[in-house]
Amino acid sequence: MADGLALSASASFSGKFSAGFMKTHDGLRLRYALFEPEAGLWRGTVVAVQGRSEFIEKYSEIVGELNEAGFAVATLDLRGQGASDRVSEDPYAGHVEAFSDFTSDVSQFVDALVRPKLKGPYFLMGHSLGGLIALSLAASGKSHFDGLLLLAPFVALHRRQLPEPLIRLLASSLSVLGLSRRPALPYRPPSSFEDQFLTSDRQRYERNLLLAKDDPPYLLGTPTFGWLRACLNETARLRKPLSLKQVKMPVLLIAPGHDVLVPFSEQVATGCRLNARILALSGAGHDILQERDEMRDRAVAAILMFLDAQALNHSECAAPRREGPVSQRQ
């Protein structure tokens, strides 16, 4: 693990942080970063598991907000994306051999770097694919966190073209035939703001495009058939009736009402199964933390109030709690 990797100069990070590479069980180098609050403010640590095609610099805003509230943030670029090593020969093809590679990487990151270097209590937060990874870890019963935050978790695939079971069958069949590393669709450059459906905030969307144009570029094209097989098999597994019984920790789930990637109803159903505190954000797109302020501010407020409540439960010397309700079902 080599420290000292600089983050993109165009990203706005302040305060104390360290960055480097972690070597995985199969020899890949994954970029990570640890961001610390001021010493007198420390209230816990949030492990942020990124979504597909995301990267550390994209999280600069929420990192600053969490640090200001007294929470350290630890995150890593998932295998095959950001500044981490690619798994496929095609640098734009998001690929994973098995879903357990994702969960194994995050577990290794937490055990080898987060817990030894950052103070608890520890919270697991995942967006989109990161939400699926975080949920899978929590459901395993082997990862011990003090709270789980799921932001637009990838618990099912929106039926925009083909039903999910058919896509899963097709991806599995083609993977068996040796095509697991082939992209499901030809590569297309990132969409303009008008042609995308993740956020209604032009400034944040275009800022992220600029951040992603590093060397090599961070943004991915379409996933491979192997990625689809691995991830859709995991969503199907976690929808089974008893699959979440090992999740004992408090849960906050934020579901965007205008999510065209993950069905809103499936997100809410997952939250109900987890007995989660659910915030439904009407009008918000899938990329919650990159939305317009009027929607994003509500999500961030819910995140901070949830963390405040859990930090108070786990620390006798926590900072004073913010005014207002701990959470709100909407």
Q: Give phi and psi for 259, each to the nearest 5.
A: -85, 120
> DSSP labels for 1-64?
-EE-PPPPTTS---SEEEEEEEE-TTS-EEEEEEEE--GGG--EEEEEE--TT--GGGGHHHHH
Tell me whether residue 247 is in a domain.
yes
Residues of the chain with pLDDT under 70: 1-11, 161, 214-216, 315-330
How many domains are contained in the chain?
A: 1
Are 70 and 37 a contacting pair, CB within 8 Å? yes
CA dihedral (105, 106, 109, 110) positive or negative: negative
**If 0-12 CB within 10 Å is exposed, 13-18 middle and 19+ buried, where does residue 240 land?**
exposed
The CA-based angle 65-71-73, given to 5 degrees, is 80
- The model's pLDDT over 112-171, given as tens digits with 9 standing for 90+, comes to 999 999 999 999 999 999 999 999 999 999 888 999 999 999 999 998 768 999 999 999
Report residue 189 as tokens. 């450059």
Element (H, E) at 148: strand 147-151
Tell me whether residue 323 is in a domain.
no
- For position 7, what pLDDT does the model report? 66
Tell me whether residue 330 is in a domain.
no
Tell me whether residue 101 is in a domain.
yes
Tell me whether residue 218 is in a domain.
yes
Q: How far apart are CA 149 and CA 127, in angstroms?
A: 9
- The model's pLDDT over 95-124, given as tens digits with 9 standing for 90+, comes to 999 999 999 999 999 999 999 999 999 999
Report residue 62 as tokens. 């929420």
Tell me whether residue 267 is in a domain.
yes
Q: What is the CATH number of the domain that holds 91?
A: 3.40.50.1820
Tell me whether residue 322 is in a domain.
no
> Domain containing 179: what range?
2-314
Q: How many CB atoms lie within 10 A of CB 164?
A: 17
Element (H, E) at 293: helix 293-314
Tell me whether residue 327 is in a domain.
no
Which of 149, 156, 109 has its CA nearest to residue 127?
149
